[in-house]
Amino acid sequence: MSVEPFHLFRYLDEQSFRFNERKDNDAGRFVKVVTGVIGKGLRYANLIGKTGGDGLPQKAKSWFTETWLLNHLGFETD
């Protein structure tokens, strides 16, 4: 197996986690990983450095939502 030096620390972290949790099965390791991830979201706007409000990008209004839905189905859009 060949690991690039840039990714070596990630590979070593994964292998040490597996070794330390070797008495647990795959489902138990999965649950442990998921519990460590919950609540640690990363919004795209924050990732690219455009923060503001809730961190979500502005929704672009398209022709479909503005025109077609209003004219054909009577839906109002905000």
Closest CA to 58 of 76, 42, 78: 78
Enclosing H/E stretch for 66: none
Question: Structure pTM?
Answer: 0.43
Q: What secondary structure letter does DSSP report for 55? A: S
The predicted pLDDT at position 44 comes to 76
Query: Over 60: is that where the pLDDT of 77 sits?
Result: no
Location of structure tokens 């503001």: 52
- Dump pLDDT digits (tens) for 58-72: 555 565 556 666 666
Structure-model confidence comparison of residues 4 and 50, the more confident one: 4
- Dump pLDDT digits (tens) for 9-55: 999 998 998 899 899 888 888 888 888 777 777 777 777 777 655 65
The predicted pLDDT at position 28 comes to 86
The token duo for 53 is 């409000």
Given a contact cutoff of 8 angstroms between Cβ atoms, the answer to whether 65 and 77 are in contact is yes
